[in-house]
Chain A
Amino acid sequence: MKPRIAAIGICAALLLSLSGWLPAAETAILLKNGQIITVSGETITGGDILVQGTKIVKVGKGLPAPAGAEVIDLGGRWIMPGIIDSHSHIAVEGEVNEMGALLTPEVDCRDVINPQDINIFYALTGGVTSVHTMHGSANPIGGRGISLKLRWGKSAEELIFVEAPLTSKWALGENPKRSNMTGAGPARYPRTRMGVEESIRDEFEKAKDYMRTWAEYEKKAKAARESKGKNPPPLPPKKDFRLEGIADILSGRLWVRCHAYQSEEMLSIMRLCREYGVKLVCFEHGLEGYRITNELVQYGVGVSTFADFWGYKWEAYNTMPQAAALCAKRGVLVAISSDDSERMRHLFNDAAKTVRFGGATEDEALRMLTINPAKIMGVDRWVGTIEPGKDADLAVFNRHPLDPFTVCEMTMVDGAVYFDRAKYLEERKKTEEEEKKKEPEKKDGGEV
């Protein structure tokens, strides 16, 4: 067993060392001679990016290195904005579904961030720099999600993308209906799409009453304060964290991210959200979104979808890998997201599939990985393109990121390198050589 533990130790040390060389507050880094996929504009061949501290300050050709700046020669490799995964469940401690109740807007992924989840590192190896990590899809209204920056090695609190709006995860269809969970515990309401929608509508009405009760109380309390003792202060109503959560949805404080597959239930929930003034940002997966592009555009709702994951259940059957490109062509805001810690490592390959299937342009495909998910997460002011003023979240590839044979070689978050394949391979070689040297020892020592 000892070698295994040693291997883990070395692995951990390696990962820590990779996350170790963080720049001091205002260190400058000049990334020279890259093919810069800015996403915001033209790709710059033989371009440079100047990073000051955590921000991109200049993008162009022939930028001089400021005194004391670290210079990284990209040697003609491709550099793009860090990939943003708008639908993820990584870095969450334990189960992502709160199964104890049907509607659980009171629970929050922020409370269970696990900064040691190895999937954070795996994501970095695929050029991913930010994720929106979410509650599961068992509940029509589930818990709150949280946007993270993948500052691998930092604490839970330090991973949080502080500028990102707070989100509420909803889910429609087979998952909240528990359609594919027969035998896993007693059946519960709802079992139909009708019941799913009704359970949301019902809770909205309760929350409106709750908000009204509190508003009346505040009014009376104010009057009491102003009466200078004439009116006795009223008793406050009971606090209800679940209804507080719904109230945050109704007030628009939480951005709604709604898991849905079928087009008609998407239309239905869009009407409901409009009726109650809910800020519905996008459908998660939305595999039938291609059928209702007119309506998605009209309501301003995006899709955070798969390039080609399909067919695993009935509601995921009526779709095609052309769906993302078709949605994008018709003006829907499309993000390619993973929902899976493995898929997130090759989102750039997935984006290339939208070029083959449905004929997305390469620019469109790249936007689906960067600025589009940034918009969906409400963080496009900070990330998603390579422009002065934006966070220095960058991914370096040895070939164009949509090339079938491309490999991500370096990933930076806030101007700090969190993954460097060359260094990783060097460390691994060293570790393996050390392991080899130990082999005879193990034999001599016999059973350990």
Chain B
Amino acid sequence: MKKFAVILGSAVLAISALLFSQAKPARLFIKNATIVPVVGERIEGGGILVEDGKIKAIGKALQAPADAAVLDASGTFVYPGFIDSYSHFGLAEISSIPSTTDFREMGKENPELRAVWAINPHSVHFGTGRVTGTTSALVAPAGGTFPGISALVKMDGWTVPEMVVKEAATSFINFPMTPRPVGEGMAVQKESKEDVTSKLVEKIRDYLKEARRYLELKKLAAAGPDVEAPEYSAKYEALQPVLEGTLPVIISVEKAKDIELAIKFVQDEKLKAIFRGCAQGFKVADKIKQSGIPVIIDSLYTGPSEPEDGYDAAYRNVVELARAGVLISFSSGDSPAHGKDLPYHAAKAVAFGLSPEEAIKALTINPAKMFGVADRMGSIEVGKDADLLIAAGDPLDLKTEVKQLVINGRAIDMANWWETLYEKFKGRPEK
């Protein structure tokens, strides 16, 4: 392993020097790798040719062109880079210090706000978050009913525009949650008679109705002088692609009852929806499947939504959703400091019955499909972005080291805040 590290290390150095020194991106050739393309069969001892940030060729018999930088990946596994389906990368540095957080705006209705305006490309969490293989992430705003618009970004770049895959990737609606009553017994029965959730859903519907009316008026005003154009509303404008079903909307929803309400809501409003959370999805997995709505799984470092769901509900949930055929993907959740745990959540689901292949798909091609970028991300195929992770072993294993990431065809600098500290302090002489 050490020998390999040295070879790979020096190869990477050489490549970095090559890549950074040339104006036109050089060609990169990864050789002797076990390639797990996700779409298609595994290739033992294969090569990948990368050109202009894209995968140019893949194959067993492939030879390195003379002008390509060669990365000998003997003994390692090459996967498509992982996609984190929900994060606040670049929007939060230290969660308890307000001056370092930018993902939660005041007010409930902010559908026009864009995460892309606030991302700090040099947040330490991009560097530490990718050490386990994440090459892209959905960066989301949070809070209120309509938190805004997420961006899909690559985990590397000098500026935000360099990182952006989709400036407007999804909108969001935080669905109201049926609260778990405090205490059990008579008081609860009384409380449950009043359906607070449905009332709150009505409020969301009313808001969408207003947005539709605004857009309709605008259209009529444009068509002729009879109708006066409504006063400009950035909020309603932002909802236009959502209401037209062209911009996917991520709906956070947890309880089984609420999921059923949300499915009806999505169908009535004709939205292109993705659910996030679905902690009790296992109770209505077939209904979710029928609706065709994919699900982003939240951090699996979580207990059951309700004790009756069982101690293992979070893991069982993923297994049941996958079994029902729901398109699922994983996410690292609310804390960018713990972005590196992305594959560990997948591993937890595998421990409880998800197949490793499904788990890898849920980290790669599934989110690519959800976010409408399966034509350029999520698998190792010719023509796709060269976003690759090169790991010493199974990338789902907590003990596996990801040796190198390739993002947009570049073997990136793997240095990060943790390594900086580690290098410094392991150098302190021992007494």
Contacts and interface: CB of A to CB of B under 8 A. Distances in A.
Interface residues of A, number: 52
Nearest to B351: A405
Contacts of B426: 326
B351 A406 contact: yes
A353 B189 contact: no
B189 A1 contact: yes
B421 A312 contact: no
Contacts of A357: 418
B348 interface: yes
B96 A404 contact: no
* Chain B interface helix/strand/loop/mixed: loop
Contacts of B301: 342-343, 346
A402 B399 contact: yes
Interface in B269-328: 301-303, 307-308, 310-312
Contacts of B338: 308-309, 311
A355 interface: yes
B233 to A, nearest CB: 33
Interface residues of B, number: 48
Nearest to B354: A405
B96 A342 contact: no
Contacts of A330: 430
B351 A407 contact: yes
B192 interface: yes
A344 B428 CA distance: 32
B398 interface: yes
Contact of A342 (B302, B341, B401, B421): B302
Contact of A404 (B312, B396, B417, B425): B396
A361 B240 CA distance: 56
Given A5-B184, A7-B308, A330-B430, A314 B344 contact: no
Nearest to B97: A314
Contacts of B396: 404-405
B94 A317 contact: yes
Contacts of B307: 8, 11, 118
Interface string A120-133: 01100100000000
B422 A320 contact: yes
A428 interface: yes
A95 to B, nearest CB: 16
A342 B303 contact: yes
B352 A407 contact: yes
Contacts of A7: 308
B431 A294 contact: yes
Interface string A348-361: 01001101111000
A341 to B, nearest CB: 7
Interface in A67-115: none
Nearest to A1: B189
A310 interface: yes
Contact of B422 (A297, A309, A322): A322
Interface string B91-114: 001111100000000000000000
B400 A4 contact: no
B312 A314 contact: no
A319 interface: yes
Given A311-B95, A404-B396, A320 B421 contact: yes
A320 B96 contact: no
A343 B419 CA distance: 25
B299 to A, nearest CB: 10
Contact of A180 (B96, B125, B352, B425): B96
B425 A326 contact: yes
A313 interface: yes
Contact of B421 (A125, A294, A318, A404): A318
A313 B94 CA distance: 5
A11 B411 CA distance: 52
B399 A341 contact: no
B375 to A, nearest CB: 31
Given A294-B431, A428-B310, A310 B400 contact: no
A310 B421 CA distance: 14
A375 to B, nearest CB: 21
Contacts of B303: 122, 341-342, 345
B198 interface: no
B328 to A, nearest CB: 18
A356 B421 contact: no
Interface of B: 93-97, 125, 184-185, 188-189, 192, 301-303, 307-308, 310-312, 335-338, 340-341, 344, 347-348, 350-352, 394, 396-401, 417-419, 421-422, 425-426, 428, 430-431
Given A11-B307, A298-B431, 20 more contacts: A1-B189, A1-B192, A4-B188, A121-B311, A290-B421, A297-B431, A311-B95, A312-B335, A313-B95, A320-B419, A322-B422, A326-B422, A326-B425, A341-B303, A346-B301, A349-B398, A404-B347, A404-B350, A404-B351, A405-B347
28 contacts: A1-B192, A8-B308, A118-B307, A291-B428, A294-B430, A294-B431, A297-B431, A298-B431, A308-B340, A309-B338, A310-B337, A311-B94, A311-B125, A311-B336, A312-B94, A312-B96, A312-B337, A314-B96, A314-B97, A318-B421, A321-B340, A326-B426, A346-B301, A349-B344, A349-B348, A353-B398, A356-B399, A404-B394
Interface of A: 1, 4-5, 7-8, 11, 118, 121-122, 125, 180, 290-291, 293-294, 297-298, 308-314, 317-322, 326, 330, 341-343, 345-346, 349, 352-353, 355-358, 402-407, 424, 428
Give 9 nearest A-B pairs by CB, closest first.
A311-B337, A320-B418, A352-B398, A404-B347, A313-B96, A294-B431, A405-B351, A7-B308, A180-B96
